[in-house]
A and B are shown apart, each in its own frame.
Chain A
Amino acid sequence: MGEVKLRILKDRIFTFIIYLLTFLSVIPLFAILFSLVKKGLGVINLNFFITLPKPPPDAGGILNALVGTFLLVLIASIVSIPIGIVAGLFLVETRNRFANMLRVLINVLQGLPSIVIGIIAYLWVVKPMGGFSALSGGIALGIMMLPMVVKSTEETIKLIPYTLREASYALGADYFTTIFKVVLPAGISGILNGILLGIARIAGETAPLLFTAFGNPYLNFNPAKPVDSLPLLIFNYAMSPYERWQNAAWGASFVLIAFVLLINIGVKLGGRRWRVKL
């Protein structure tokens, strides 16, 4: 009997440890969110969003970074979404060795360090253009977003029943029409979710922008000129010795995390609704 009790005791202790470690690992999340709210929320007001940075010791607002982030995300979307969707279709439609290899390669691309992508954008765009630019940063972010678009397209289209296509073929539609009028519209919500999550991810990227978009304290809409972005501004302000700049960095962090979380929550809620419809 003693042995059985020992086994049960071991099991209980193990269960306790699992629960304990699980709950302990959630603590950093709350610690980070707490400090963002505590330090960031106080800085934020309307002026914070609609003014430009000021020289130290003042801090000013983050309008330049908001515009820059928008511009970078726009360029990245143009670069990655069309080719990503088509490549995702290719992976669904093709069953051969090349498709399998491509699938692995896309996962590898997703795992590449973002700083390496930054070097590539520097070599491919910054050097030939002769200077830092929003375009080069957008292309770097686009390369990072590409695997997410491809994978969400593939995953979504795979789930669409083949009978839907057969119905379309039976009506005399050709392959092109079937894909664009039947298959893609049926899967658009899933693809859109993937794109939104991709945007949430790249909007927070800093490393590939350090030597591409570079940062810019002035308002700029020109893709051929450097722009600032929220994460770049956070990095530069956080490493600065000025207290007001650091406070502005907390405010900008709060804005960035709110943006990322809103997209995540929106996708979760929206995804559930769409899935029921499908």
Chain B
Amino acid sequence: MLRDRFFKFGLKLAGGLIALLIFSIFVSLVIASIPSIKEFGLSFVFGKEWNPVEEHFSALPFIIGTLLTSVLALAISLPFSLAIAFFSGEFSKKGLISSLIAYATDLLAGIPSVIYGFWGLFFLVPLIRKLELSFNIPPYGVGIFTASLVLSIMIIPYASSMARDVIALVPSDLKEAGFALGSTRLEVIKKVIFPYSVSGIFAGLLLAFGRAIGETMAVTMVIGNANRIPHSLFEPANTLASVIANEFTEATSDIHLSSLIYLGLILFIITFFINYIGNMIIERMSVNGRS
């Protein structure tokens, strides 16, 4: 019986260790950012300049770059993700085509981000360059739009799988009641399925948004790495994650390294809250579903 007590203690210990791990990640980031926090304070977040040579650092260009790429990516992928969700959650729940689609989105989620970046660099960038030439804008090829395009493909599986699950969970008697009143499928979707599943769809989109914000490699390879506030969607820029990836090993001074970790801390806080809210919505839904 002593063994049982040790074992139960071991279980608790493992759970506690993981909680401690997440807490220590946050604390370590804060401690390592202290030199930069002391130097720049909160103005770090709103300052416009990132200049490693003059050792003046602030995060606004990257916060703007991150938000622009991820919002645009979410907007581009939204119609496609919702279409997949309604297709496999309502139109074609079973059968060869729907399992093929499910399999394809699984594979999309499984492709490593460096391969997305590589493919984007060699196929999308030349394509965008041609497009820019025909519109008479500077033909960078790389930039915010290209990064958003790659990101939008990458987050389709995350945005669609959650939405598909909640759409498939809508009770069929509710839908049948709608059909019995003479509604078309579009009307049932608009008036019954969508209101019933909207919070789950929102949670899925939120998690996909979190993915887009934190995505590093694919973005780093196609965004063009310019440390300034972008004035157009076709300009090179940098995101929080991509500037860390680019400059971390080359940081020459302690304050530079500390500022990069400060950026990591901001990234941690943003994604923490997005994931926390998304997961709380899902948790609440599954509790409601059970009762």
Interface set of A (CB-CB < 8 Å, partner B): 7-8, 10-11, 14-15, 17-22, 24-26, 28-29, 31-32, 35-36, 83, 86-87, 89-91, 93-94, 98-120, 122-124, 143, 146, 150, 174-176, 179, 200-201, 203-207, 210-211, 214, 231, 234-235, 238-239, 246, 249-250, 253, 256-257, 260-261, 264
Contact = CB atoms under 8 A, between A and B. Distances in A.
Contacts of B86: 18
A102 B184 contact: no
Nearest to B17: A83
B133 interface: no
B244 A119 contact: yes
Q: Interface majority SS on B: helix, strand, loop or mixed?
A: helix
A11 B115 contact: no
Interface string B95-134: 0000001001011101111111111011100000000000
Given A17-B83, A120-B25, A207-B216, A104 B279 contact: yes
Given A32-B115, A113-B213, A206-B114, A102 B15 contact: yes
Given A86-B14, A89-B11, A28 B267 contact: no
A272 B113 CA distance: 28
Nearest to B210: A111
A108 B121 contact: no
The 5 closest A-B pairs by CB, nearest first: A113-B214, A204-B112, A21-B83, A111-B275, A11-B184
Contact of B87 (A18, A99, A110, A150): A18
B12, B15, B83 pick with most chain A CB within 10 angstroms: B15
B267 A115 contact: yes
Nearest to A82: B14
A112 B279 contact: no
B276 to A, nearest CB: 6
B241 interface: yes
Interface string B268-291: 100110111011100100000000
Given A108-B276, A119-B244, 11 more contacts: A36-B119, A83-B14, A116-B25, A176-B3, A204-B115, A210-B245, A210-B249, A211-B248, A238-B118, A238-B221, A257-B111
B207 interface: yes
Contact of A113 (B80, B184, B215): B215
Nearest to A110: B275
29 contacts: A17-B83, A21-B84, A29-B104, A29-B108, A31-B119, A32-B119, A83-B14, A83-B17, A86-B10, A86-B14, A87-B14, A90-B11, A103-B283, A104-B279, A105-B18, A115-B216, A117-B25, A150-B18, A175-B4, A176-B4, A200-B110, A204-B113, A204-B114, A204-B115, A207-B217, A235-B118, A238-B117, A256-B112, A261-B107
B221 A146 contact: no
Q: State the main secondary structure of chain A at its contact with B.
A: helix
A235 B18 contact: no
Interface in B216-241: 216-217, 221, 241
Interface string B162-204: 0000000000000000000000111101000000000000000
A90 B104 CA distance: 34
B221 A32 contact: no
A92 B80 CA distance: 36
Contacts of B29: 116, 119-120
Given A87-B15, A113-B271, A22 B221 contact: no
A18 B83 contact: yes
Contacts of A102: 15, 18-19
Given A32-B116, A120-B29, A10 B186 contact: yes
Nearest to B91: A18
B59 interface: no
A257 B77 CA distance: 23
Most interface-central of B111, B122, B185 (chain A CB within 10 A) = B111
A235 B115 CA distance: 8
Nearest to B158: A111
A21 B91 CA distance: 13
A253 B249 CA distance: 24
B211 interface: yes
A112 B79 CA distance: 26
B28 A124 contact: yes
A146 B117 contact: no
Contacts of A101: 19
B261 interface: yes
Given A116-B29, A116-B264, A235-B221, A35 B112 contact: no
With a 10 A CB-CB cut-off, give which of B7, B114, B116, B207 has the most chain A CB atoms. B114
Nearest to A91: B15
Interface in B1-39: 1, 3-4, 7-8, 10-12, 14-15, 17-19, 21-22, 25, 28-29, 32
A117 B32 CA distance: 14
A233 B186 CA distance: 49
B153 interface: yes
